Amino acid sequence: MNTVCSELHHFAWQLPRYSFTFDKKLIPQNGIYLLFEKGEPAHGGDRIVRIGAHTGVNQLRSRLMQHFTNEKKDRSIFRKNIGRCLLHQANDPYLAVWELDATSSKNKSSYSHLIMPDYQKEIEQQVSSYMRENFTFTVLEVPSKEDRLYFESRIVSTVSLCKECSCSQSWLGLSSPKAKIRESGLWQVNELYKSGLSAEDFKRLVENT
C-alpha cells in the first residue's frame, strides 16, 4: 500500500496546483480533488490531507467554491471540521452551536436563539483564512459519477492505510473532537481503511486523467 500511495503522491505533484484564487475555467467540471496542507509532508513532498468528489453532474467547481469561498459551514463538512478544530483548540463553548445544522428552515428557526450571527461570521472568516493560507489542491478529471465514487473511496483508503502518511505533531486536525480525523491524519471520516487502490486501479486512474 505504501508503494501505491507514494506513486499516487508523485503523480499528483506533477499535476497543476491551485490555491483559493483559482480560475474556475481551469478546473474540469467533473472529477476528484486532492488537497495538500502547508507543513504536512509525506513521500518526500506535500501530503494529501483530504480527498473529495461530487455526485451531481458538473458540480466539481461549485463544490470547491463551497469549501474555499462560501462561508457557510453547513454546506461544507470540510469547513465545519476546520471550525470544530479552531473552537476546540480555544476551548470555546460556541463549539456546541457550531455543531448544529441550520440548513433547513425548521432547524434555523429552532436554533435561532442559540446562534450568534456576528460571532458565527467571525468564525467563518477564521476558517476561510486558515484554508486560504494553508491549502492547495489538484484535480483528477473523472467524468463518470460511478468512477468518481469508486476512485474517491479507494484513494481515501490508500492514504489512510499508508504508514508513511502520518500527520505532523502540529497538525490542526489533532485538535478535532472527531477521533477518526485525529487518528487518520485526514480531513474526513468516511471511506477510511477500506480497499485501497490496486496497481491496476492506479494505472487506469493515470491513463484516464
pLDDT of 184-197, one tens digit each?
Answer: 999 999 999 999 99
| Segment holding 64, helix H or strand E | helix 60-68
Say if residues 155 and 191 touch (Cβ distance below 8 Å).
no
Using CB atoms within 10 A of its CB, is residue 116 exposed (0-12), middle (13-18) or buried (19+)?
Answer: exposed
Residues 9-66 pLDDT 10s: 999 999 999 998 888 899 999 999 999 999 999 999 999 999 999 999 999 999 999 9
- What is the torsion angle, in degrees rounded to the nearest 10, for the CA atoms of residue 187, residue 49, residue 137 and residue 28? -70
Q: How far is CA 50 from CA 115, 126, 156, 159, in A?
A: 29, 19, 8, 9
Q: State the pTM of this model.
A: 0.94
